[in-house]
Structure 1
Amino acid sequence: MAADCDWGPSALLDAFFLGLADEIRHMMIPLSLPTNLDDLIELAVQIDFRLLEERRDRLGRQAPPCSQSAPARPAICKTEQLEDNPPSWQRDEPMQLGGRRLTAAERERRVHLQLCLYCGAADHLISRCKELPRPAARPRVRPHSPEDTSTRGRRSPSLAAGRMQLKDLLPAKNGEEPTMQFLLEVVEILTSYIRKTFDRSTKVLDFHHPHQLLEGMEGFNLELSEQPESLEQILVDCRDTLKYGVRTGHPRFFNQLSTGLDIVGLAGEWLTSTANTNMFTYEIAPVFVLMEQLTLKKMREIIGWPEGEGDGIFSPGGAISNMYSVMIARYKYFPEVKTKGMAAAPRLVLFTSEHSHYSIKKASAALGFGTENLILLNTDERGRVIAADLEAKVIAAKQKGYVPMYVNAMAGTTVYGAFDPINEIADICEKYNMWLHVDGAWGGGLLMSRKHRHKLNGVERANSVTWNPHKMMGVPLQCSAILVREKGLLQGCNSMCAGYLFQPDKQYDIAYDTGDKALQCGRHVDIFKFWLMWKAKGTVGFEQHIDKCLDLSSYLYYKIKGKEGFEMVFDGEPQHTNVCFWYIPPSLRSMPAGEERQQRLHKVAPKIKAMMMESGSTMVGYQPQGKKVNFFRMVISNTAATRSDIDFLVEEIERLGQDL
C-alpha cells in the first residue's frame, strides 16, 4: 500500500504530528522522534486513546485514497489553524521536529509510519494503546513542537532534552557552546516575534483575563520555583511571555502614544543590555556619557537655545522629567528649600492646563507644594489654554499673598493633542517672573518637522522642556529627556557629592560625571538606541516619520468627518495625530439628545474596545473628558501604519458596533 501512495514525506509528517500536537502539548510530554511503530505506539499511548480515535476518524475523512496521484494538502480544522503558528505547508518551509529540520533519510525512514496511519493502521495503533498501561507522569515541561515555530535553527540535543540549566552557561567551564546555543535560541524566538509583529494577519494580542494567566495557560506558570528549571523550560517561558503579551509594534495597535517597533532602536537596546553599565560616571560608561552629552546638545539646538547651551539629562519617563522641571524651578527661586525644606519658602503656587498630564499634579503632591496649590487653567474647545485666564489667576493668587512660581504649557495634550499658545504664556511668565516649562513629551517630536514645528512657536523662550523620543519619534521605551536652558541648575538642585562615586581628584574631567545631577543613583542607558536611530535615519528620517504620521491622522479625520455613524468630539482638524470621535450605533442615531442617549453612548466605546481585545484584531484607546462621555482617541506614532490600517480600524469599529 505504501508504494501506491504519492504523499510527500513532509506533508505526511506534518499531518500526523499536527494531528497530535495539541494533545502532546496539553500533556506536557517531551517530543521524541519515533523510528518504528513500537516507538510510535509508546508515544501515542501517553495520549488519551479516545482523542486518538477522534483524530483517526477525522483523518480518515480527510485522507486521500492511496491511489491518488496528486493529492491536495491535508486539511486541518479551523480550531487547529493557529494564526501565529501556521503549519509548514502554509509556510512553505522544511518540516521540523524538536526544533531542527529532518534530514532526507529521516523523512524517508518515517514515511511508512504515516502511511500506516492513513491506510488503516490507526485502528491497530488505538487497540495497542488500550492494551498498554498508562505511563508514569512526566515533568510538566511543554516541548518544542512543530507549532512552536519561533525557533527554527539547529537545536542542541541537551537543550531539547531539558537537561541543561543555568549552571551550564558561562562563566561555567566549557560553557561557551551551551551559551551560544541558548542565546541563538532566544534570538530566533525574538526574530520570529518581530516577523509576526509586522504581519497584519497576526493578532495584536491573544487576550486572557488576569485570573487565567495567574492560574496557568498550557504549562505557562507565573509562579516562582524553589529549584532551578531547565533551559528548555526557560525558552518555553520566553515564547509564552511574548505569546500572551500585546504586540505594541503591530501596524494596527493604536492604543498608546508609544507604538511601533524600530529595528535599529531594538538593536541598540540589545547592545545596551549586553553592556549592562550605569550612567552615573564617565569611568564606567565613557562612550554612553559622551553620546548623551552630544545628543542633548543637539536637542537644545533644535529647541532654539543659542548654540545648544544649557543642560539636560535622560530620565525614566515624562512624569519624572516634569518633576525635574518643578524641582529646578523651586531651586532657582528658593534654593534654601534644598537644605531647610518648604518652611523656608512662602506659599508657592503652580499653574497648568486642565488638560495637562496628571504628572504635574503628582509632582505638586510629591514635592510638598500640595495639590491645592496647583491651579488649573481653562481651555478653549480644542483643549488649548486661554492665556487671559492664566493672567487673571496669577493676579488672584498674588492678591491672596501667594507666590506664583511655575507655569506648565502643553505641547501636545494626551487626549486632544492640543498645543498651548507658548508665546502668549511666555509673555505672562516674564511679566510676573515665573518659570515656564513646556511639556513636549508627546508633541516635542514635531520640532523635527519643518512642516509642523510652528505648532511649538515660542518654545525657545521656555526655561525647561520635556521631550520624549519614545513617543512621537518611535524610539523603544524608555527614552525621555529633561532639557534646561540655564546650565548648572540641575547640578545645584540635586548634587549630594557622594565621595565614593564622585571623587574630585579623578584623572579625567569630572564634569562628565553626570550622576550627581540626577535624582537617581543608578541610571539606565537610554541614549544608545536613540543615538543609533538618529545615525541610521538622520534628522530627515525623523522628519519623514513625523510627517507621515500626521498625514495619516489627517486622512482619518477627513474619512470619518461627516460619515454616518461617526461624530467628532471637537470641530476642526486636530493639531497632532490625536483624532477624537464617537461611534454612534444605528440604535442611537434616531434617539433625541438627552440624558438617556448620553448614558447609552457612554457604554459604546468600552464595549467595542472589549470586543476588539477579545478578537485581537486591533486596539484603540477611549476615555471621557470633562462632561463628555466616553469617546475613541485615535493616535498614530507607528511608521508601519498605512491608510489600509486606518480603513481597517474604521470598518472594525462599524462591524463590532453595528448591533449595540
Structure 2
Amino acid sequence: MAPMNERHMNDTSSKASASPAEPKGKRPPVLVDGVTLNGPTLDIREAESFLRDAMPIIMEEAVWKATDVKEKVCEWRSPEQLKDLLDLELREGGEAHPQILQRCRDAIRYSVKTGHPRFFNQLYAGMDPYSLVGRFITEAINPSLYTYEVAPVFLLTEEAVLQKMIEIIGWQEGGDGIFSPGGSVSNMYAVNVARYHHCPDVKVLGLSALPRLVMFTSQECHYSVAKAAAFLGIGTNNVYVIPSDKRGKMIPAEFEKQVQRAKDEGALPFMVNATAGTTVLGAFDPLEEIADICERHNLWMHVDACWGGGALMSKKHRYLLQGIHRANSVAWNPHKMLMAGLQCCAFMVRDKTNLLQRCHSAQASYLFQQDKFYDVSYDTGDKSIQCSRKPDAFKFWLMWKAIGTKGLEERVDRALAMARYLAEEIKKRDGFRLVMEQFERQLPVPLQDEDSTSQNLHNLLRLKDGWNIPSGETQPIKFNMLVIQSIDSYYVALSHKKHT
C-alpha cells in the first residue's frame, strides 16, 4: 500500500520540484505479467474511508460498551449458531465496505468481553487505556523484534522494561531476558536453558549424547511444564511430581527425597520448577527452602511467577515471593495481575554470560551481520527461539510510564484487597462456606482434616445446612453464568431440590 499521506502532498511544491524534462500528467504504467507495478496496492481514499469508519466502531463497541458493567459480558451462541450468524465462508470476490463494517460489529458483539468488570473466567485482568494505545501503535507500525535496524524504539523499550523487572526481582548483579509469546513458552525457555546449562553439548549432539535427565515440579504446577518436557524430548515420565501441602505449596522435604531418588536411579537431576501463584489455589511455593535444596544438589531453579510475579510490585505483598532473587530464571506475565494486555510475558535469567544467546543462536549471517554501522549487541533476536517477534513490552512500558511504579503497586494492592474482601463476605453469608483462606493465612478449623488440594477441591463444593453442590452441578452453574449471565435461577432451582 502506498503511503497514506501521499494524498496530502502540496501540488504546487510537487510541481516545483519536478524536473522540467518530465512530461506533465501521470507516468505511464509499468506492466509485468499484466500487473501494474507503479500503482497503489489498495485505493488510498477507499482505505482511509474504511479506517475512519471502522475506528469509531472499535471504540464504541470494543472499548466503551465492552467495559460497561451494565452491558453483557457476551452474547453467547452455540458453535453452529455462530457459524450461521458470522457467514464464515471465504469467497472468490470481496465484499463491500458496509458489509465488512457489519462483520466487525458482529465479531465484537459475539466475542467475550474480557475487559468487562464481570469477566472472571481467566487469570488476566481488564482493559488499561495506556496499554491499549500501545497496542494500537505497535499494530499500526507492524515491527518485528530481531534487529535494531528494523525496530529501534521497540527493542530499546523492551530492554528498559526487562532491566527494571530484573532489578525488582532482586538480581543485584543484573541479568538478561526476552519477551515470549506466552508463559508456557517462557517455561519452555527455562527447561531448554537449564538443560543447556548442564549439558551444553545438547545443542550440537542432540538428545542421544545425554544421560537421562530428570526435572521436578509440584502437583499444583501449570500444565506447560509437562508440555515442555514432551516438546523438548525429556519425556513426561522424567518430570517427577512433588506433593503439595493442603494450601497447595510444594513440600521441600518431599522435593529433596525425589532428587535423591533420581540420583539413585542413575539419572541426572537438572532443574526444578517452583510456582509463585498456582493456577487453581493461588499458592506460592517456599522459594527459600527450594533454593537451599537446589544449591545442595546443583539444580537450576526456575520460578514460574507468570501470575504471582505482580506481587513483586507491592511492598505489602512481595514477601509472598521471598527468595525469588535466588532463582536462576523467572517467568513473569504483566498481562495478568498488572493489566498490561495480552500478550505480555517476560522470561529472565540471572546470567551475564550471554547464556540465552549461546543456547539459542543460529548466527544467520543474512540477518545478524556483525559488521553493521551500529552496536550489534542491540540485535537481540538471536537469543530468541523465534524469528518474527511482536513488540509485547512496548504496551507495558507505555503503561508503566503513565502510572508509574506506584500506580502498579496500587493496582496489585487493590486486587488482593478485593480478594480478601470477597473472602470475608463469603464467611458472613448464610448458605456459603469459605473452603480456603487466601495466601499465608491458616485454614479454618472445620477444614483442617479435609484434603483441599485441587484434585479434591470439588469435594468441598458444598453448602451449609444440607445444601450440596455435587461435582456434576458445576456445569449448570457455568451455563447460568455464561449464557443467562446470572446464577440466581440456578440457586432457585437448587433451593427447590433441597426442599423436595
- What TM-score results when the alignment is normalised by the length of structure 1? 0.65
Deviation by residue 1:258-278 (Cα, 9 ceiling, x = unmatched): 131111111110100010110
In the TM superposition, residue 562 of structure 1 has moved relative to its aligned partner by 5.5
Amino acid aligned to 2:87: N
- The match for 2:128 is 262
Find 1:590's aligned residue among 441, 457, 466.
466
- The match for 2:476 is 607
What runs of 5+ residues in structure 2 fail to find an aligned partner?
A: 1-38, 442-453
- The match for 2:155 is 289
Within the alignment, does 1:186 sit opposite 2:54 as a pair? Answer: yes
- The match for 2:22 is none
- The match for 2:198 is 333
Within the alignment, does 1:511 sit opposite 2:388 as a pair? Answer: no
Matched-pair contact (CA < 8 Å) for 1:325–1:464? yes
Matched-pair contact (CA < 8 Å) for 2:356–2:384? yes
The runs of 4+ residues in structure 1 deviating greater than 6 Å are none
Shift of the 659–609 alpha-carbon distance from structure 1 to 2, 3 Å rule, reads farther
Aligned length: 443
**Counterpart-to-counterpart distance in 1, 2:151 and 2:287:** 37
Q: For residue 567 of structure 1, give the secondary structure of its aligned residue in structure 2.
A: coil
Q: For residue 376 of structure 1, give the secondary structure of its aligned residue in structure 2.
A: strand
Question: After the TM superposition, which residues 195-594 of structure 1 pair with which residues of structure 2 at under 5 Å, given as runs?
Answer: 195-214=64-83, 216-217=84-85, 220-306=86-172, 309-487=174-352, 488-561=354-427, 563-570=429-436, 572-574=437-439, 584=462, 589-590=465-466
In the TM superposition, residue 449 of structure 1 has moved relative to its aligned partner by 0.5
Q: For residue 253 of structure 1, give the secondary structure of its aligned residue in structure 2.
A: coil
Deviation by residue 1:564-620 (Cα, 9 ceiling, x = unmatched): 3223333x33459xx9886646xx9427xxxxx7xx610222211111111135xxx
**Counterpart-to-counterpart distance in 1, 2:494 and 2:414:** 29
Sequence identity (%) = 48
Amino acid aligned to 1:275: I
Deviation by residue 1:108-160 (Cα, 9 ceiling, x = unmatched): xxxxxxxxxxxxxxxxxxxxxxxxxxxxxxxxxxxxxxxxxxxxxxxxxxxxx
Amino acid aligned to 2:476: K
Matched-pair contact (CA < 8 Å) for 2:461–2:471? no
Matched-pair contact (CA < 8 Å) for 1:206–1:616? no
Matched-pair contact (CA < 8 Å) for 1:409–1:436? yes
**Counterpart-to-counterpart distance in 2, 1:553 and 1:446:** 13
Matched-pair contact (CA < 8 Å) for 2:186–2:331? yes
Shift of the 583–394 alpha-carbon distance from structure 1 to 2, 3 Å rule, reads closer
- The match for 2:5 is none
In the TM superposition, residue 223 of structure 1 has moved relative to its aligned partner by 1.4
Amino acid aligned to 1:393: Q
Matched-pair contact (CA < 8 Å) for 1:464–1:485? yes
**Counterpart-to-counterpart distance in 2, 1:279 and 1:486:** 21
Matched-pair contact (CA < 8 Å) for 1:197–1:250? yes
- The match for 1:644 is none
Please tell me the root mean square deviation across aligned C-alpha atoms, in Å: 2.2
Amino acid aligned to 2:112: V
Matched-pair contact (CA < 8 Å) for 1:265–1:529? yes
In the TM superposition, residue 197 of structure 1 has moved relative to its aligned partner by 1.9
What runs of 5+ residues in structure 1 fail to find an aligned partner?
A: 1-169, 592-596, 618-648
Matched-pair contact (CA < 8 Å) for 2:125–2:336? yes
Deviation by residue 1:54-97 (Cα, 9 ceiling, x = unmatched): xxxxxxxxxxxxxxxxxxxxxxxxxxxxxxxxxxxxxxxxxxxx
Matched-pair contact (CA < 8 Å) for 2:67–2:113? no
Matched-pair contact (CA < 8 Å) for 1:611–1:656? no
- What TM-score results when the alignment is normalised by the length of structure 2? 0.85
Question: After the TM superposition, which residues 621-636 of structure 1 pair with which residues of structure 2 at under 5 Å, given as runs?
Answer: none
Question: After the TM superposition, which residues 73-152 of structure 1 pair with which residues of structure 2 at under 5 Å, given as runs?
Answer: none
**Counterpart-to-counterpart distance in 2, 1:549 and 1:657:** 31
Matched-pair contact (CA < 8 Å) for 1:417–1:575? no
Q: For residue 470 of structure 2, give the secondary structure of its aligned residue in structure 1.
A: helix
Shift of the 433–417 alpha-carbon distance from structure 1 to 2, 3 Å rule, reads same
Larger radius of gyration: 1
**Counterpart-to-counterpart distance in 1, 2:399 and 2:491:** 38
